[in-house]
Amino acid sequence: MSTQARGLQNFISDLRNAKSKEEEQARVDKELANIRKKFTATPKQLGEDGSNTALSSYQRKKYVWKLVYIHILGYDVDFGHPEILALVRSNKYSEKSVGYTALALLLRGDDPLMNAILGTIRKDMTTPMPATAKNNAPTTDTAQSLALCTIASLSGLELIQTLHAEVQHTLVAKSSTPHVKKKAALCLLRLVRTSPKLVSGREFAPHMAQLLQDRHLGVLTSCMSLLYGLASQNPREYESLIPYAVHILGMLVLKKACAREYLYYRTPSPWLQIKLLKYLQLYPQALNSGQEVGAPKGTQEHIAQLSNVVSKILTETDVSDSINKSNADHSVLFEAVNLICTWGSAGPPQLREGGMKLLGKFISVREPNIRYLGLLTMAKLAQLDGTARSIKKHQATVLVSLKDADISVRRRALDLLFVMCDTDNAERIVDELVAHLPMADAAIREEMVLKIAILAEKYATDLRWYVDTILKLISISGDHVSDPIWHRVVQITTNHPQGDLQAYTAATLLVAASPRRCHETAVRVAAYVLGEFGFLVAERPGMSGEEQFRILHQHWATSDEHTRSILVSTYAKLANLYEECRPLVAPVFARCKNSVEVEIQQRSAEYAAMREAFGPEAVEDLLREMPPFEDNKQSALEQRLREKEGDDSAAVAKAARPSAEQRKRAAQSAAAARAAEEVAAQQSAAANEEDDPISPISDGSPGADPSEKPTVGIPKDVIPAMRKAFSNLCTTPSGVLFENSLLQVGVKHEYVGAQGRISVFFGNLGKSPMTHFRAILEESSHLRMQKQGTEGLFDENEDGGATVAARTQAKLLLLVEVAAPFDDAPAMRITFETEEGEIHEYPLRLPIVATCFLEPVTLEAPAFMQRWKSLEGQDRECQEVVKTPPNAPKIDEEYMKRIAHIITKGLKFGRCPGCDPTPWTVSGASTFKTGAKDANGNNINVGCLVRVEANPQAGAFRVTTRTLHPLCSKAVKNVALVSIKLA
């Protein structure tokens, strides 16, 4: 190259010797100007492809190499493309290689010039050439390899769609050499990642089966990369290739059948082994299908062979003195353990035990990388059933890893301790973590505090120990105790009035807040708890109301705005409970009325004026203790952990599973919760029918001032018909929503996924025009609306509104997208004025309910029952019994068919075959679609299950809905009840 491209070498040397950016820029600009001049051709020198025919081969290559180098340095190169194409078309290898290199770097797949070179690329890739080169001509291998590498490097959907068939043909062709097959497999993988639907699994799987029988390990390695990429997108279509993967793995591991050049420190092709194991992890059910009675003999043999392979990997892998061999062997080992984790409890127990024993050995070695991977993999293995006892044997070793010099190892040790914790060892692990907290780095303290708080709550046999643990965290590392942690203490204390927890917490926090130097988080939680439950300890020595105020108020000067706001509310409650505290609290409120902090000023002014504005009983009600918090399935601490570590974390999976102690506490609170539900149900039953969340009548405020003109509302005799019409519209695409002698409101609506199109027609049935006609829609956070309609329809000005002539219509078009679950229908207030001067106002609701955004899902009976059981709980389940109307026919099989039609066609649920053993039940599944996006940009959807059970003797139905979101459960139940009543 030194004799052929001396100019290129000199140019590179000049750039390297440049003393400043400006000098380099000047040299590049000068060179670009020179190259542009050389490429500019006279009419006689201009070739058919736009290149300069006067340039010699040496000059063209030299200048193109310079353009490539300039491009690599980051400068824009927007000329010279015809010369690049001329090099690609050349029959000389030296020119073709330069051309393809420049083509891959300087052009894009959607460039118009690519159409001119597609034929050459296709020819190089498919047309056979001599196996040996003559006169610097490219061989079959080199031409095909250059073309494949260039296709993989270029982007552009049109290029991919044009050449992907040739790439597939080159890959499967018997004439292709191993070198070309490797390039073709990796090129096709790149194309598939760009356009996932490029390859049909059913058609391509047989070709992959032939490729997996190739004896060349390089071809197998590249093909496994391709297979893993394809199977990750469509696992079912490539499941038939499992036997081939197991056979290759068996040859490498059991028989050591490997060419010498693919032995890596006496380990047969570790890269191929890893790819095979990762592919097999996509099929966790393969082990179950092979062990079933009646499974094909060949399948059983492959499963047995796979078990032997994994067993041998576990038994023969050991720590080696050679770092390279150790890294290769352990990479294979950890993928084998991941495969065992993928199998779950269905895998052979001896493999789980063997993996755990081996990992226990690795987490004690000196090499930090192996320790890290050992801790990480053991945390995955610890999630399997039946591994708790064996993993506890390594608890002491994991505790030692908490003191490791490498922070990443400490994090993995913390994760493993979190996962292995249970009721038996919780106190010891939590105490060890708390003892280690003062010595922990600041980078890991927040994570440690969060996980200690979750473990203390999850496995506390006595909630007083939980309170003590959180106080220790505050005293040791108060800056890292986030608000959700102490909020959780308040929530648990408030929700567990049984026993002496509330009094114990109040007394403990009062003692903790007594020193003048106390962390501000302790002051906040003490202030809140003493304001709520301080009266429980007021009779104890040194804990009177006056003493509580004195202890809390000593921290006023050093507290921030948030803490002072809590203290002000606590002072108000203390003054309400204890007469002796009122003279102490009054001066504080008087000073704070002029505070620059708006929150403190407002609270102080309101509390000070409360006794003057309200009577003693009203003040007592306003300042009584807070009611129990809503006990969500996922606490704020679990949500914070999920935000920090992601859904795939072993710690997140562990935190999401309720412990035995948590279930026990939930059972203890169930009686109080049921009593509260009964009271709420009674209040709901006694409420006015107009408060029904899916009632056709909204609770809209009156439009005009009654003192000016009389306002006419909805006639009472129309309401029963409206209710039936509204219910029908919830399950049918069109109909009349409202009709009287003056106005008819018709609705036509259709929905696709999370979006809907609603047309509303307002017909004037009278003989005179309606003036100032308006339709005012209530905006809501859960529905995004775009509206358009007759001019003036949305004008709320006094003189505005539309005019609807007699026997004509005004129109309203709504485009809606649901953003979150909801249980009410959007309100629409219609107002107009008649010729006689009467103002009519009709508060209606549009039949846009949650079931409109459902899409049916068909589930088999086992899958339905599994999801049904997983959605147990008062937050996720809504249930109500409804009796049939007195004039309704007797419940029989024909009646149940109508109910099934309502559930499937009206409410958009898919029937679940096998779930209804008797004709008196109807079960269905669907998905509530929303337009909201999660962190990955995917739409957030909610799975919904419904079950209707009939009691013909009692003439009643029980409707049960279960979803992940309480509002979804309630909304679907409400619509189902109304529809069943009118069936």
Minimal CA–CA distance to 603: which of 628, 566, 634?
Answer: 566
Q: Could you tell me how many residues make up the chain? A: 983
How many Cβ atoms from other residues are within 10 Å of residue 587's Cβ? 9
Question: Would you state the structure tokens that stand for residue 551, as one six-digit string?
Answer: 């202890």
Rounded CA gap, 568 and 566, in Å? 5
Q: Is 66 part of any known ligand binding site?
A: yes
How many Cβ atoms from other residues are within 10 Å of residue 604's Cβ? 25
- CA distance readout (Å), 62 to 78, 143, 398: 17, 21, 61
Cβ-contact 406, 370 below 8 angstroms:
no
Cβ-contact 722, 694 below 8 angstroms:
no
Q: Is 7 part of any known ligand binding site?
A: yes
Cβ-count burial of 893 within 10 angstroms (0-12 exposed, 13-18 middle, 19+ buried)? Answer: exposed
Residue 208 carries which side chain, given as an amino acid letter? Answer: M
Rounded CA gap, 478 and 559, in Å? 14
| Crossing angle for the helix pair 349-362 and 368-381, to the nearest 10 degrees | 150
Q: Is 183 part of any known ligand binding site?
A: no
Question: Would you state the structure tokens that stand for residue 694, as one six-digit string?
Answer: 């899916």
How many Cβ atoms from other residues are within 10 Å of residue 897's Cβ? 12
Residue 601 carries which side chain, given as an amino acid letter? Answer: Q
Q: What is the CA radius of gyration of the chain?
A: 38
Rounded CA gap, 983 and 975, in Å? 12
Q: Is 62 part of any known ligand binding site?
A: yes
Minimal CA–CA distance to 106: which of 83, 138, 124?
Answer: 83
Q: Is 657 part of any known ligand binding site?
A: no
Buried residues in 197-215 as b, exposed as e (16+ CB within 10 A) = ebbebeebbeebeebbeee
Rounded CA gap, 434 and 412, in Å? 17
Rounded CA gap, 819 and 781, in Å? 8
- CA distance readout (Å), 897 to 113, 367, 860, 950: 65, 68, 20, 12
Terminal Cα distance for the chain, rounded? 88
CA angle 767, 771, 772 (to 5 degrees): 155
Rounded CA gap, 107 and 84, in Å? 10
Residue 777 carries which side chain, given as an amino acid letter? Answer: L
Question: Would you state the structure tokens that stand for residue 184, as one six-digit string?
Answer: 């073709």
| Crossing angle for the helix pair 178-194 and 157-172, to the nearest 10 degrees | 150
How many Cβ atoms from other residues are within 10 Å of residue 75's Cβ? 15
Q: In whole angstroms, what separates CA 906 from the centre of its chain?
A: 30
DSSP 769: -
* Residue 175 CB-half CA count within 13 A: 12
Cβ-contact 407, 443 below 8 angstroms:
yes
* Residue 703 CB-half CA count within 13 A: 26
Cβ-contact 907, 837 below 8 angstroms:
no
Question: Would you state the structure tokens that stand for residue 164, as one six-digit string?
Answer: 């992907």
DSSP 425: T
**Cβ neighbours of residue 591 under 8 Å, at least 6 residues apart?**
none
Buried residues in 280-294 as b, exposed as e (16+ CB within 10 A) = bbbbeebbeebbeee
Q: Is 238 part of any known ligand binding site?
A: no
Cross-strand bridge partners of residue 829:
776, 843
**Cβ neighbours of residue 559 under 8 Å, at least 6 residues apart?**
520, 523, 567
Q: Is 6 part of any known ligand binding site?
A: yes
Rounded CA gap, 471 and 515, in Å? 14
Per the annotation, binding residues are 6-7, 38, 58, 62-66
